[in-house]
Amino acid sequence: MSTETEAAPAPVPPAKEPERRSGLPSWAVQGLVSLSAIVLALLVGAILIIVGDEQVQKAVGYFGAAPMDTVSAALSAVGEAYKSLAVGALGGWTPISESLTQATPLICGGLAVSLAFRTGLFNIGAQGQLIAGAILASYVGFAWHLPPVLHLVLAIVAGLVGGAIWGGVVGLLKARTGAHEVIVTIMLNYVAIYLLAWLLTTKTFQRPGRTDPISPIVDNNAQYPKFGDTRLHLGFVLALVAAVFVWWLLNRSTIGFELRAVGANADASRTAGMSVGRAYVIAMVVAGALAGLAGTQQVLGTDLPLTDGVAASVGFDAITVALLGRGTPLGTVLAGLLFGALNAGGLQMQLITQTPLTLTTVLQAVIVLFVAAPALVRSIFRFLPKERGAGAVLAKGWNG
């Protein structure tokens, strides 16, 4: 949940400050800032690795006698850790497929948050929408028995519907009563979590012969086909398709224009004759469906039965992914891939160098912290040109 507090202080740069002309297009500037944030995060991570490393601690004990020992121990600790992180994420087809598998639900969840961002809504509820989608998709997956293709399609549709309902309720409440979406989505997260916990104690959902809260695994026919011997599944392709769809929706369709207009200035849009309420409902229904898609990827893609931990922290990580992706579909895909790679690499890193898994969480958090505070990054890397409208999208969510 820490992600929310990091998101909050996203500053809007003072408008009157003289612009430093760079000649670079804004996407290049944003890319540079993101890249610098990653470098800074790796430096912070390096310090943590050095402080926590046993060899270094031993060497510091006799620093006066052989100072170079401390330095070389520190360098080798950092080098080994980051090397295994890189190898675990990118070193061959299997690691890459792991990274992509981990990235899949993050991309869809990130899109769910991004789309709402662009409409001026801060969707903290991806977690609940994901769970709602996972519940329905999983039920159709294990309780029905249908021929191939048809079964998978119906299970996916069920997941989309589940998420869309959970998100749509938020949009409807916002449009009709003005209930703030942050409060409503957080509360609906709890409702989803406890609904899931209760369902898993019922005969309908609990796996026969088991006494702990776990559902049956979905039928083979309802599972996403896998690529070769890996865990990577068709859901990844769907995530990319979803990203293209969101891009088309936002940038090429009339509805998308309305969504962005409402996101930029709800009052002006209303004056211009647009229905702000309709935009909120549409945005939240589509966002919910996207999160529901992430839910199907959990239960139909990675062999996971429905458990109380089925959503892991995907719904919350999705907020950070969307922040890092600046609310754009392409950015969200790239951010999702980065986080997926960090997750997959982190597992390998702890195995080889026994670096705690929490380090990757720290890396992710620090990256987002720096991205959300571009002024901070620019004060460290002086050569970076000023970013136009940086953080505007991120801060907008709170104005809705």
- If the CB atoms of residues 288 and 305 are measured against another protein, the closer one turns out to be 305
- If the CB atoms of residues 277 and 356 are measured against another protein, the closer one turns out to be 356
Residue count at the site for another protein (CB under 8 A)?
A: 42
Query: How many other CB atoms are there within 10 angstroms of residue 212's CB atom?
Result: 9
- If the CB atoms of residues 9 and 67 are measured against another protein, the closer one turns out to be 67
Instruction: Identify residues 74-113 at the interface with another protein (CB under 8 A).
Output: 98, 102
Using CB under 8 A as the binding rule, whether residue 336 contacts another protein is answered as: no
Tokens of 298: 């959990």
Cα 397 to Cα 122: distance, rounded to the nearest angstrom: 5
In this structure, are residues 122 and 181 in contact, taking their beta carbons and an 8 Å threshold? yes
Q: Which of 348, 373, 374, 400 binds another protein (CB under 8 A)?
A: 348
In this structure, are residues 127 and 294 in contact, taking their beta carbons and an 8 Å threshold? no
Instruction: Identify residues 301-320 at the interface with another protein (CB under 8 A).
Output: 302-305, 307, 309-310, 312-314
Cα 288 to Cα 130: distance, rounded to the nearest angstrom: 8
In this structure, are residues 3 and 316 in contact, taking their beta carbons and an 8 Å threshold? yes
Q: Which residue has the tokens 């953080």?
A: 391
CB of 182 to another protein, least distance (A): 22
- If the CB atoms of residues 87 and 330 are measured against another protein, the closer one turns out to be 87
- If the CB atoms of residues 178 and 208 are measured against another protein, the closer one turns out to be 208
CB of 312 to another protein, least distance (A): 3
Using CB under 8 A as the binding rule, whether residue 191 contacts another protein is answered as: no
- If the CB atoms of residues 41 and 103 are measured against another protein, the closer one turns out to be 103
Q: Which of 8, 12, 150, 357 binds another protein (CB under 8 A)?
A: 357
Using CB under 8 A as the binding rule, whether residue 66 contacts another protein is answered as: yes
The sign one gets for the Cα dihedral 251, 252, 253, 257 is: positive
For helices 276-296 and 126-143, angle between their N-to-C axes, nearest 10 degrees:
50
Using CB under 8 A as the binding rule, whether residue 197 contacts another protein is answered as: yes
Quick one: which of 269, 236, 244, 259 has its CA closest to 106? 236
**List of residues 6+ apart from 247 with CB closer than 8 A:** 328, 329, 330
Instruction: Identify residues 46-65 at the interface with another protein (CB under 8 A).
Output: 58, 61-65
In this structure, are residues 1 and 124 in contact, taking their beta carbons and an 8 Å threshold? no
Using CB under 8 A as the binding rule, whether residue 198 contacts another protein is answered as: no
In this structure, are residues 9 and 372 in contact, taking their beta carbons and an 8 Å threshold? yes
- If the CB atoms of residues 165 and 195 are measured against another protein, the closer one turns out to be 195
Using CB under 8 A as the binding rule, whether residue 190 contacts another protein is answered as: no
Q: Name the one range near another protein by CB under 8 A: 143-151, 219-227, 251-259, 349-357.
A: 349-357
Q: Which residue has the tokens 């919350």?
A: 316
CB of 51 to another protein, least distance (A): 17
Q: Which residue has the tokens 């991205």?
A: 371
Residues for the chain: how many in total?
400
Q: Name the one range near another protein by CB under 8 A: 41-49, 74-82, 164-172, 208-216.
A: 208-216
Q: Which of 5, 202, 204, 211 binds another protein (CB under 8 A)?
A: 211
In this structure, are residues 331 and 117 in contact, taking their beta carbons and an 8 Å threshold? no
Using CB under 8 A as the binding rule, whether residue 298 contacts another protein is answered as: yes
- If the CB atoms of residues 23 and 209 are measured against another protein, the closer one turns out to be 209
Q: Could you please report the per-residue DSSP string of 57-108?
A: HHHHHTTTT-HHHHHHHHHHHHHHHHHHHHHHHHSSHHHHHHHHHHHHHHHH
Helices and strands in the chain, H and E counts: 17, 0
Using CB under 8 A as the binding rule, whether residue 355 contacts another protein is answered as: no
Q: Which of 155, 344, 359, 363 binds another protein (CB under 8 A)?
A: 344
Q: How far is CA 76 from the centre of its chain?
A: 32
- If the CB atoms of residues 264 and 347 are measured against another protein, the closer one turns out to be 347
Binding site for another protein (CB under 8 A): 58, 61-66, 69, 98, 102, 194, 197, 201, 209-214, 217, 231, 298, 302-305, 307, 309-310, 312-314, 344, 347-348, 350-351, 354, 356-358, 361
